[in-house]
Amino acid sequence: MSFDNAYEALIDGHEDAHWAFGTGFSEALAGVDREVPDVDRADLAAYCLMLGDDALVLSQRLAEWCSRAPELEEDVALANIALDLLGQARMLLTRAGEVEGAGRDEDALAYLRDERDFRNVHLAEIECGPFAGGDFATTVARLLVFSSWKVAQYSRLRASADPVLAAVAAKGLKELAYHRDHAAQWVVRLGDGTDESHRRMRAGLERVWPFLAELSTAHAVELRLPGVAVDPAELRSEVDGVLDAVLAAAGLTRPADVPAARVNGLAGRDGVHTEAFGYLLAELQHLHRSLPGAKW
């Protein structure tokens, strides 16, 4: 670029390849068949929402670290992970709207649904730092569990009969494997580092462990979509294997498997969330809802 005119960039072409991970996502799925497979559309849309909400809500949580990380390099790394998840969320919500066929786009689904219509697991929404409810150790504990689970899920989803889900999974798998690696690196360092970091890492694992059980509990929608969806019960042993290996390398022991209590037998996939989730949504949605009809 020429440095004579600082405003040159305003009239440049409109590609956004500059941004770390891009801000658009249409190219990511370019050429992918968007045909809807021959399954119940409401079920498929609900399944896309489950996956999309997992990614959206954890992205929102991770972005809370922006300008608050322990070192600048880690600020960049956590923002990268949040951006990856946000990109996945946008593709999945877009697909949910497309399959549903009621004209809702990614923003209508992210901003105009009420709490009971969100289908993410509790693990994505709980507070794990930087604010009350956790710290950096809790954040990496959550990230390790979440990304280990997602890696197992997405690696199977690559064979989904829904070509869009398969394509999102193929792209997202590489990202999630990196997130898992990043989290594992930190769990090992914090587990081994100092007495304080070891204590915090144990506390972090204990904080997130109760939410592990929900990850392998199938919802009826998931079971009604064989060949399209992944049965989460299948993922448990793979996830356990990864977690055990990382914990062993970190000199940490596995917390007791005591599942978080359900409310009336229900949890995130059913639209029943933790108290913290209402606040997360209020923040996420308030501006969009304050100016109905505005274009952004």
Q: Which of residues 81-120 bind other proteins (CB under 8 A)?
A: 82-83, 86-87, 89-90, 93, 106-107, 110-111
From candidates 117, 196, 234, 244, binder to other proteins by CB under 8 A? 196
Question: Which CB sits closer to other proteins, 115 or 181?
Answer: 181
Q: What is the closest distance, in whole angstroms, from the C-beta atom of residue 34 to other proteins in the complex?
A: 19
Q: What part of residues 13-72 is at the interface with other proteins (CB under 8 A)?
A: 16, 18-21, 23-24, 56, 60, 63-64, 66-72
Question: Which CB sits closer to other proteins, 87 or 268?
Answer: 87
Q: What is the closest distance, in whole angstroms, from the C-beta atom of residue 129 to other proteins in the complex?
A: 9
Q: What part of residues 248-267 is at the interface with other proteins (CB under 8 A)?
A: none
Asked if residues 9 and 139 have their Cβ atoms less than 8 Å apart, the reply is no
From candidates 113, 122, 200, 207, binder to other proteins by CB under 8 A? 200
Residues near other proteins (CB under 8 A), total: 73
Question: Which CB sits closer to other proteins, 7 or 30?
Answer: 7
From candidates 35, 38, 73, 275, binder to other proteins by CB under 8 A? 73
From candidates 44, 46, 49, 77, binder to other proteins by CB under 8 A? 77
Q: What part of residues 202-241 is at the interface with other proteins (CB under 8 A)?
A: none
